[in-house]
């Protein structure tokens, strides 16, 4: 799952991103609304977290305009403004949740995961192929009923392949959907993750290399 965090306070932006990445989410960040425009043009997000008062404007007006243009990403507003009228304004302008500063990291994380689940409600929460089963909500993978110990990145790559079972997925696709914009990975990092996945999945092999194109999840 991928999250956008828009916060002009550098220390808070770093802390939020570190907390969410520590929970296995891919996180892109921006200190202003201009960066959000660029990010939305290149990636799909499961949730966006906006500080309300940013250097280039009040985020509720930005979100309201993006909603008019078809933005469907669930939005959580962060703000020090805790008056009931401010909360109502946040929801009225397209927000899905509203959290007042200062907040506990655990509460922020719980709210972000709830919004991510809402974003993915149309997608199956459990993916299955042959004897492989992925519980996307719990971030658990099993092969022949045996729980696998996967890193966050390994699970993300396997989840993306399982969501496109039978299709050839390029390394560029995996980088776009499984790494955040700040990681700047290279293609051989993808190969390394796939190599570790193959070892942990054991035989018979499920992830197949398609020379010159990428990878495909399938029984043969």
Q: Give the model's confidence band at 122: pLDDT under 50 very low, under 70 low, under 90 confident, else very high.
A: very low
The domains of the chain are located at: 2-119, 126-217
- CA distance to 19, 20, 39, 45, 175, per residue, from 27 (Å): 10, 7, 11, 9, 13
Q: Which residues are paired to 134 by β-bridges?
A: 127, 141
CA atoms within 13 A on the CB side of 195: 6
Listed in sequence order, the residues at least 6 apart from 33 whose beta carbon sits closer than 8 Å to its beta carbon are 6, 54, 56, 57, 59, 62
- CA distance to 14, 124, 165, per residue, from 28 (Å): 11, 24, 27
Q: 92 by DSSP, 3-state: which? A: helix
Domain at 2-119: CATH architecture: 3-Layer(aba) Sandwich (3.40)
> Measured at the alpha carbon of residue 70, what is the angle toward residues 69 and 76, in degrees to the nearest 5?
105
Closest C-alpha to 23, from 107, 125, 96: 107
High-pLDDT (> 90) share of the chain, %: 38
Whole-number Å distance between alpha carbons of 76 and 108: 9
Listed in sequence order, the residues at least 6 apart from 169 whose beta carbon sits closer than 8 Å to its beta carbon are 160, 161, 214, 215, 216, 217
Chain segment 105-118, per-residue pLDDT in tens: 889 999 998 888 77
- Please say if the pLDDT value at position 124 is more than 70: no
Q: CB burial class (10 A; 0-12, 13-18, 19+) of residue 1?
A: buried
Chain segment 197-212, per-residue pLDDT in tens: 999 999 999 999 999 8
pLDDT of residue 116: 84
pLDDT of residue 181: 60
CATH of 126-217, one of 3.90.1420.10, 1.20.1530.20, 3.40.190.10, 1.10.10.10: 1.10.10.10
Record the pTM.
0.61
- Please say if the pLDDT value at position 177 is more than 80: no
Q: Which residue has the tokens 């959907």?
A: 177
pLDDT higher at 135 or 208: 208
């Amino acid at each position: 799952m991928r999250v956008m965090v828009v916060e002009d306070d550098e220390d808070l932006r770093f802390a939020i991103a570190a907390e969410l990445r520590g929970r296995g989410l891919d996180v892109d960040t921006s200190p202003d609304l201009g960066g959000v425009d660029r990010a939305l043009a290149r990636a799909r997000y499961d949730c966006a977290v906006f500080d309300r008062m940013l250097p280039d404007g009040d985020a509720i007006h930005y979100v309201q305009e993006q909603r008019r243009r078809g933005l469907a990403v669930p939005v959580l507003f962060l703000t020090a403004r805790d008056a009931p009228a401010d909360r109502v304004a946040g929801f009225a302008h397209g927000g899905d949740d509203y959290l007042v500063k200062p907040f506990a990291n655990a509460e922020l994380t719980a709210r972000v995961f709830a919004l991510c689940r809402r974003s993915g409600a149309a997608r199956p929460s459990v993916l299955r192929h042959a004897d492989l089963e992925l519980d996307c909500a719990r971030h658990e993978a099993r092969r022949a009923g045996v729980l696998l110990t996967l890193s966050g990145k390994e699970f993300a790559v396997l989840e993306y392949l399982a969501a496109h079972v039978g299709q050839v997925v390029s390394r560029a696709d995996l980088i776009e959907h499984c790494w955040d914009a700040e990681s700047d990975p290279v293609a051989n990092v993808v190969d390394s993750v796939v190599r570790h996945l193959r070892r942990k999945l054991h035989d018979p092999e499920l992830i197949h290399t398609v020379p010159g194109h990428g990878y495909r999840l399938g029984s043969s």
